[in-house]
Amino acid sequence: MEYDVIIIGCGVTGAATAYMLSRYQLKVAVLEAENDVAVGTSKANSAIIHAGYDPVPGTLMARLNVEGNRMVGEIADKLNVPFSRCGSFVVAFSEAEVEHLHRLYDRGIQNGVPEMYLLNREETLKEEPNLSDQVCGALYAKTAAVVSPWELTLAMAEVAVKNGVELFLDTRVEAIQKENDLFKVTAANGKNYQSRYIINAAGVDSDVVHEMIGEKEFTVNPTKGEYYLLDKSEGNRVRHVIFQCPNELGKGVLVGPTVHGNLIVGPNAEPGTGRDDRATTGKAMDFVRAAALRSVPSISFRENIRNFAGVRANTEFDEFLIGESKSVKGFLNLAGIKSPGLTASPAIGKYACELLNEMGLSLIEKENYDETREVVRVRYLDAEKKNALIQKSPLYGRVICRCETITEGEIVDALHEVIPARSIAGVKRRCNAGMGRCQGGFCSPRVAAIIARELGIDETDVLEDRTGSYVLTGKMKEGLENV
Ligand SMILES: Cc1cc2nc3c(=O)[nH]c(=O)nc-3n(C[C@H](O)[C@H](O)[C@H](O)COP(=O)(O)OP(=O)(O)OC[C@H]3O[C@@H](n4cnc5c(N)ncnc54)[C@H](O)[C@@H]3O)c2cc1C
């Protein structure tokens, strides 16, 4: 199997790059180790589309952040991805921190961030009455937004696949060699692929993938961040994303609305964790809770419905590491993509195309590029549209997930999409079944039955999420199938 470009990894960076490359007359493959896209860091983060006042002016990170902020809004609109330009506040609790807000404001101006405002205490509390009365002021960035990170990734990957990009899931790259200007890539499943160019978008494993063929240039220091996700009853506690002043470990603990109407609280920053360590700990949760209550004292943590963790691909450099490998021609690293990597992703993808072009790849646009994506979300339709849909397919009238009002029709759609769901969590990422207050307690068995029926597999073969994560081990008693 010979390609012009092979992309390794299908998180938001790989998906955005595939999306950008799919508009050109090229043969592109994406090799992803897991059984779905967006299951690494791209599914477990704060989901903020940062305005761009944080990165150091003049860096690639600053430029791609600001450009990405604008691009994500346009893509979300075009590809039907949940997105809300709610704005963000960085709040100060002392005069020294107010000084810091001025510095962030100046950085923002240098980075070209539009619509930023320095608010005094009264203005801040008027906009966000649930903030602590210890607040002294805030930096308001109107262009900050929130998005569904896995749907953004999925949407871009789907458009890429619709336009001819070949996606290979369950394909962990194990070895890379180069002979006569052609890369030979071997996957753990025994399959081999060849290409003229390679893009390394392997997230926390980007150093490992680079060193399969190149000399060491950087080391990923996985840094875990842990979260609370609170029920929708807390979803209106704040209207904007509330940050505290950043420190050397990152942007600090935030409190913010999600696109799905929940409240997200977190993360901490724990350097030196395992690359695949997504466990949450009591200690981190205590830290996050105490830090968040300092900003918004009235948060009710009794409304917590889930804890989760994501791992940052931090390196020894405070910068995205984007460029051709120093030791291997034709090998493009998109590495060290830590925050604001979600925000910057489309700009990174576009920049990757420019770099490939400089490296000798011709980019000729396709004539019949299809940049559309339809998603049915029954709960947002008016009664007339709902009725019309149910007339066409009664499955859209049968609610399976009662917390989120997700119908059987939407679950079936998720299982037959361009990149179909293959697990209960895959269904959840595509249509929100199981995302509500009960976290799938009621609907998971019904979703599992629908998966088994639609995929023609036994229920004992249904996965919770990753390959091997079987939910059922077998029948306890025969004859209960119809209960
Ligand atoms: C706690 C936390 C909070 C964050 N908050 C924000 C935020 O609010 N806003 C923002 O803009 N950014 C945020 N980020 C950063 C953002 O999430 C990341 O920059 C982004 O998700 C990185 O995407 P990626 O595609 O590079 O990596 P990933 O999503 O990790 O994708 C890499 C993919 O490569 C695959 N892979 C690895 N090795 C191989 C191999 N050998 N063969 C094949 N495939 C392989 C993996 O399975 C994975 O799917 C946050 C990150 C964290 C951890």
Tens of pLDDT along the chain (483 residues) come to 799 999 999 999 999 999 999 999 999 999 999 999 999 999 999 999 999 999 999 999 999 999 999 999 999 999 999 999 999 999 999 999 999 999 999 999 999 999 999 999 999 999 999 999 999 999 999 999 999 999 999 999 999 999 999 999 999 999 999 999 999 999 999 999 999 999 999 999 999 999 999 999 999 999 999 999 999 999 999 999 999 998 665 678 999 999 999 999 999 999 989 999 999 999 999 999 999 999 999 999 999 999 999 999 999 999 999 999 999 999 999 999 999 999 999 999 999 999 999 999 999 999 999 999 999 999 999 999 999 999 999 999 999 999 999 999 999 999 999 999 999 999 999 999 999 999 999 999 999 999 999 999 999 999 999 999 999 988 777 666 665
Q: Which CATH class is domain 2-42+150-218+317-358?
A: alpha beta
Asked if 242 and 128 count as a contact pair (C-beta separation under 8 A), the reply is yes
Residues in the chain: 483
Amino acid type, 367:
E
Q: How far apart are CA 246 and CA 86, in angstroms?
A: 20
Residue 156 CA to ligand 1 centre (angstroms): 15
Residue 386 CA to ligand 1 centre (angstroms): 37
Indicate which atom in ligand 1 lies nearest the CA of residue 341. Answer: 19
Asked if 288 and 301 count as a contact pair (C-beta separation under 8 A), the reply is no
Residue 202 CA to ligand 1 centre (angstroms): 8
Q: Which residue has the tokens 């990734």?
A: 153
CATH fit for domain 83-146+221-314, picks 3.30.9.10, 3.40.50.970, 3.40.50.150, 1.10.3720.10: 3.30.9.10
Q: Ligand 1: which residues within 6 Å by Cβ?
A: 8-14, 31-34, 39-42, 45-48, 50, 172-173, 201-205, 209, 225, 267, 310-312, 337-343
- Ligand 1: which residue has its CA nearest to atom 26? 203
Active site residue 416: no
Classify strands 241-244 and 88-92 as parallel, antiparallel or unpaired: parallel
- Which architecture characterizes domain 378-461 according to CATH? Orthogonal Bundle (1.10)
Indicate which atom in ligand 1 lies nearest the CA of residue 68. Answer: 11
Indicate which atom in ligand 1 lies nearest the CA of residue 174. Answer: 41
Q: What is the pTM of this model?
A: 0.97
Which one is catalytic: 50, 102, 210, 260?
50
Classify strands 116-120 and 173-179 as parallel, antiparallel or unpaired: unpaired
Residue 346 CA to ligand 1 centre (angstroms): 14
* The domains spanning 2-42+150-218+317-358 and 378-461 adopt the same CATH topology: no
Residue ranges per structural domain of the chain: 2-42+150-218+317-358, 83-146+221-314, 378-461
